[in-house]
Amino acid sequence: MEKPRAVLFDAYGTLFDVYSVGLLAEQLYPGHGTALTTLWRDKQIEYTRLVTTSNHGAHYRPFWELTRAALVYAIRRVAKDDRAALEPATLAARADQLMNQYRHLSAFPENREVLQALKDRGIVTGILSNGDPAMLGISVRSAGLEDVLDHVISVDPVRKYKTDPAAYALGPQATGLKAAQILFVSSNSWDALAATWYGYPTLWVNRGGLPFEELGTQPTRTGTSLRDVLTFF
């Protein structure tokens, strides 16, 4: 294949560690931190699909709102036997703490090295994410990545979340390139699969040694860290 002319990264799970909230979750809900963060993430993605596919998107809500709704659900689920934890003021205060932590998720350590290497090669770089613009702006600034990203693309303007084709179409629209000229990078297997279906060459960053989706399509390549992006060049 031709060398890509641009690289677009998923944000949550790919550049930013969505499970880095786990320590705070464990402090707030002892013995349930891992279960809470896992359920929170799963419900967050489920909600994006619900609001995209139901009633022609009439129930769309920004990613920040869906993330908080998913968190409240997860808290109610894991703390269902703890009346004090579910008292409205307590639940709201703890949800605020966790959401504030979500604004500043830990960045994976190789992010800057890889993005800088791409910039040095003259490759256009960017994020294509479900996150709304305010969330992404804070995360990018918190990680100190503003100077190595040409584009920070949110799906919010089209009011449809990945894996809707309208979300993936934002990449070619922003860069002026064809999808086939843009490498799409995600650590979420469902995202890598849908981006492949859309027409991007893809890298699935499989940090957990997991199997890929069993739907008859494989990503262009599979790696274990963002450094594997550089194998395309």
Sheet of 202-205: strand order equals 151-154, 124-129, 6-9, 182-186, 202-205, 221-223
- Residue 154, classed as helix, strand or coil, is strand
77 close to 91: Cβ distance less than 8 angstroms = no
175 close to 182: Cβ distance less than 8 angstroms = yes
Show the CA angle centred on residue 62, arms to residues 57 and 67, nearest 5°: 115
Distance between start and end Cα atoms, the chain: 11
- Residue 72, classed as helix, strand or coil, is helix
- Residue 12, classed as helix, strand or coil, is strand
221 close to 232: Cβ distance less than 8 angstroms = yes
**Chain centroid to CA 33:** 20
16 close to 41: Cβ distance less than 8 angstroms = no
51 close to 69: Cβ distance less than 8 angstroms = no
Please indicate whether residue 191 is annotated as part of the active site. Answer: no
Catalytic residue among 10, 132, 164, 228: 10
Give the residue numbers annotated as catalytic, written as ranges. Answer: 10
